[in-house]
Amino acid sequence: MAVELTKSFDHTVLGGLLIFQPDANSNVSTGITGNASGELFVCKIDNTANSGAVYVKLVDANAASPGTTNPDWIFHAAGGATVSYAIPLGAPYSTGLSLWAVTGAESTGGNSAVDPTNDVIVRIVAS
């Protein structure tokens, strides 16, 4: 299933981009913020379908290669857990975000390109 991007043009909304990736894995979802600059505010990871930990990785780029690309952010979710990471002041990105989820914490090499056994659901709030 493809990544879903919802845009809000309400000027009172801090993070007007709501990104929903229902099956994050080592297949990189590119340009999830519409290939534009903005700020990252929230990353929520639902890893309840897996018994092992996963790492959601984001890079400020329109393309990435798991196991090779150094991510700008790495978010951990324990097996069987749902976690949320909030960045209240926002973390800026300049090109747009690409996302993938794998079982390895490493920024490169190792098992950084191994898929989770089951679906990992990722929700992101950005501007």
Round to whole Å and give the CA distance between 74 and 91: 13
Identify the band that residue 64 occupies on the pLDDT scale cut at 50, 70 and 90.
Answer: confident
Report which of 36, 94, 107 is spatially closest to residue 65, judged by C-alpha positions. 107
Nearest to 116 by CA among 126, 101, 106: 101
pLDDT band, residue 16 (cuts 50/70/90): confident
- Assess contact for 60 and 73: CB atoms under 8 A: no
The single-letter DSSP state of residue 30 is: -
* Phi-psi group of 72: left, alpha or beta (phi > 0 → left; psi -120 to 50 → alpha; rest → beta): alpha
Instruction: Quick: pLDDT tens for 91-100.
Output: 999 999 999 9
- Is the pLDDT at 122 greater than 60, yes or no? yes
